Amino acid sequence: MNKIAIVTDSTAYIPNDFVKQHNIHVIPLKIHWGEDTLVDGVDITPAQFYERLEKSSTIPSTSQPSAGDFLRTFKDLTPYYDGIMVPLISSGISGTVASAKTASALFAEIPVEIIDTHSTSAGLGLVVTAVAQAVSDGKSLKEITQLAEGIVKRLKVFFVVDTLKYLHKNGRIGGASRYFGTALSIKPILFLDDQGKIDALEKVRTKRKATEKLIQLAVEQADRKPVSVSVMHANALEEVKNLRDLLLEQLDCKQIDIYDISPVIGVHVGPGTIGLAIYQI
């Protein structure tokens, strides 16, 4: 049987139990905050991050892993595996895929498949979860690659932020820029487009209306078929639990998990963000 390693990045923010169960290798991004450089999910948790953000007069920045980070991981895995599967954060919002591809070009010991998921957070988590199941089922690297690429094509991510200032500050605002500077009560519905870049769908006036719109979008994407869903939040657990419960009433969910938005992604979207990732099975 093929032995396939799974490597992903910290923005998936997959629960530790699942990471250990499936022996997933997580390469972290970094947060730069004043004089501090913090390793995503290692040096700072979401709760610690939002507590510090609330008191901070500055918004931190982030950086991707280096090609060397990936190359070291690939070499460390070589003695134990026949291939490496690498689903990663969208190249539309991060240079992480580029770093991994640079490392792969310098590495020839065993095959490496890098998947640009055009997603992050709960969306990336859904891809990693499916890949982990396929590895457990003994699928080949080629089969797992085809599976992951198929999910990426069907995967949709929608989210709502409390304010666009974080996306604007860090240069990730994309198509949502047309809403920047609007009244604070406006809640923009955002999504990741086919290139994995942030774009704006529409704006609503309250968080309740935003939640209703997220549910409507999920129902449209499901089209009465079974789906895999994940919901995500940035320091908004009760809101996202409500979103999950409402989705369970409306959809045929084969899985629906709650993801914390990692501190690195929290830098860009800010507290209060909720969202969902969904694909037809």
Domain boundaries defined on the chain: 4-29+64-152, 156-280
174 confidence band (pLDDT: 50, 70, 90)? low
The correct answer on CATH 1.10.8.350 for the domain covering 4-29+64-152 is: no
Considering only CA atoms, which of 281, 277, 280, 279 is closest in space to residue 13?
277
pLDDT digits (tens, 9 = 90+) for 218-257: 999 999 999 999 999 999 999 999 999 999 999 999 989 9
The length of the chain in residues reads 281
The string of DSSP letters for 128-145 reads HHHHHHHHHTT--HHHHH
C-alpha 107/C-alpha 17 separation (Å) is 30
b/e per residue, 21-55, with b = 16+ CB within 10 A?
ebebebbbbbbebeeeebebbeebebeebbebbee
CATH code 3.30.300.130 for 156-280: no
> Residue 59 pLDDT more than 70?
yes
DSSP letters for 93-119: T-SHHHHHHHHHHT--SS-EEEEE-S-
Q: Per-residue pLDDT for 57 more than 90? A: no
Q: What is the pTM of this model?
A: 0.93
Task: Taking residues 197-222, report their average pLDDT.
Answer: 92
